[in-house]
A and B are shown apart, each in its own frame.
Chain A
Amino acid sequence: MIYNGAKAKIYLKYKGSIEDISKVISKGMILPEFYFETDEEYPHNVTSNCEALGFSIWLNKLTDENDFNYILEIETNLSLEESFNDLLCDLSPWLAKYVSEICGIETFVNI
Chain B
Amino acid sequence: MLAPEWVATYQSLKRGTYLSDLGGDLKQTGVNIKNAAIADWNYTTKTPIVQQLKDRGNQLVQPQTLEQAVTMYIGSKIPNNIGTRDNLLRVSTVKVVKTELSRLQNTFDNLVESDLISKYKALDPKLKYGYTGSFKTGVVGNTSKPTFGNPINLEKFDIDFWIESDVLYKKFGPNLRADPQFRKVLAETPGFEGLKPNKEGFSIKFKPNN
Check A78 against B181 for contact (C-beta < 8 Å).
yes
Check A40 against B200 for contact (C-beta < 8 Å).
no
Which one, A44-52, A90-98, A102-110, is touching chain B? A44-52
Query: How many residues of B sit at the interface, in one of the four size bands?
Result: 20 to 34
Of the candidates A38, A60, A80, the one whose C-beta lies within 8 Å of that of B145 is A38
Check A80 against B198 for contact (C-beta < 8 Å).
no
Check A47 against B176 for contact (C-beta < 8 Å).
yes
Q: How many Å lie between the Cα of A51 and that of B202 in the bound state?
A: 13
Check A77 against B175 for contact (C-beta < 8 Å).
no
Interface residues of B (CB under 8 A from A): 119-120, 123, 132-133, 141-145, 160, 168, 171-172, 175-181, 198-200, 203
- Residues of B near A37 (CB, < 8 A) are 176, 200, 203
The 11 sampled A-B contact pairs (Cβ below 8 Å) are A44-B142, A49-B175, A51-B198, A51-B199, A54-B180, A56-B175, A56-B177, A58-B176, A77-B178, A80-B123, A83-B172
A69-85 with Cβ < 8 A to chain B: 73, 77-78, 80-81, 83-84
Interface residues of A (CB under 8 A from B): 35, 37-38, 40-41, 44, 47, 49, 51, 54, 56, 58, 60, 73, 77-78, 80-81, 83-84
Check A40 against B180 for contact (C-beta < 8 Å).
no
Q: Which residue of chain A has the shortest Cβ distance to B160 in the bound complex?
A: A40
- Residues of A near B120 (CB, < 8 A) are 80
- Residues of B near A58 (CB, < 8 A) are 175-176
- Residues of A near B119 (CB, < 8 A) are 80
Check A56 against B178 for contact (C-beta < 8 Å).
yes
